[in-house]
Amino acid sequence: MTGFLKGSATAMITPFAKDGVNLDAFAALVEYQIAGGTDALVVLGTTGEPATMSEEEKLELMRFARQITPKNVKLIFGTGSNCTEKAIAMSQTAQDLGADGILAVTPYYNKCTQRGLYEYYKTICEAVTLPVIAYNVPGRTGVNIAPETAAAIAEIPNLAGIKEASGNMAQVMETARRIRGKCDLYSGEDALNLPILCAGGTAVISVVSNLAPRAVKDLCTAVEKGDLPRANEINDGLLSLAAACFSEVNPIPVKAGSNLLGFEAGLPRAPLTEIEPQHLQQLKAAMIACGLKVKA
């Protein structure tokens, strides 16, 4: 299917307090995204640290996110797993809770075959009626959705798009060619948002937009309007911020950046660690250069 997601989506952080998820801080972050023009919120994706959250915490956050997210902003829940049965159960829960769509990362650690990837997505799609986004991030999962497999899963009726974060533009271009008109292509890598949009991507699912939602939205709008000089101008300003946001493994820097903006994002959960001082200074400088107001 095509046409599910367009523009800018934010891969939301999950703010933590000592006793669990900080829902008040999450609500403030959602308000910031809406004010910045973000088109969709992705909750419990990689950036949201679901791997270190309990099932109870995930359900609490999903329910709360649905309560506070206005209907004109799409709400997408991350439901992927390295166990297909768990992915199905979480996807069905997301549907029951009123999600607009789901994001299913490729199975991690198992290192399944391309046939296994196809069966994984086919089974999830058949278990729900929601639009399903396949998330390709081999640097995290150890498995890559090959363009041929992307073309095969694009034929599944409610497979809405492929979030590409392989970092391989040659592969992205080949995937774009094979899925065009069948399902949509989304950028999942901030440093490549502009070229992926120009290659026909309909949306970005961004980490950087946690900090700079308006700029990321403006980038998408400029490309949509065919104003490439403006798109390049915006992208040039975002590249140093993107580099800073990935100076350490995501979401370590972006959570630090959210704290610098005054949000009570807390720290990443172990085994992730607090940002290193030199990377914090790099992040702060990049945020200031982007016109963001940071705490001293």
Domains of the chain: 7-225 (3.20.20.70)
Note if the bond before 271 is cis, omega within 30 degrees: yes
Give the span between the Cα atoms of 6 and 102, in whole angstroms: 15
- Residue 296 has a pLDDT of 62
Residue 54 tokens read as 């309990």
Instruction: Confirm whether 71 is a catalytic residue.
Output: no
| Confidence (pLDDT) at 261 | 97
Residue reference for tokens 């829960």: 93
Nearest-angstrom CA–CA distance, 87 and 143 = 17
Q: What residues contact 102, with CB distance under 8 A and at least 6 apart? A: 76, 77, 78, 79, 91, 94, 95, 124, 128, 130, 131, 132, 133
- Tell me, what's the pLDDT at 295? 82
Q: Are the C-beta atoms of residues 132 and 90 closer than 8 Å to each other?
A: no
Cα–Cα distance for residue pair 44/61, rounded to 1 Å: 9
pLDDT along the chain (296 residues), means of 10: 97 95 98 98 97 97 98 97 97 98 96 97 98 97 97 98 97 97 97 97 98 98 97 97 97 98 96 97 96 86
Active-site position among 135, 186, 255, 284:
135
Q: Identify the pLDDT of residue 248.
A: 97
The active-site residue, picked from 163, 217, 255, 284, is: 163
Asked if 135 is an active-site residue, the reply is: yes
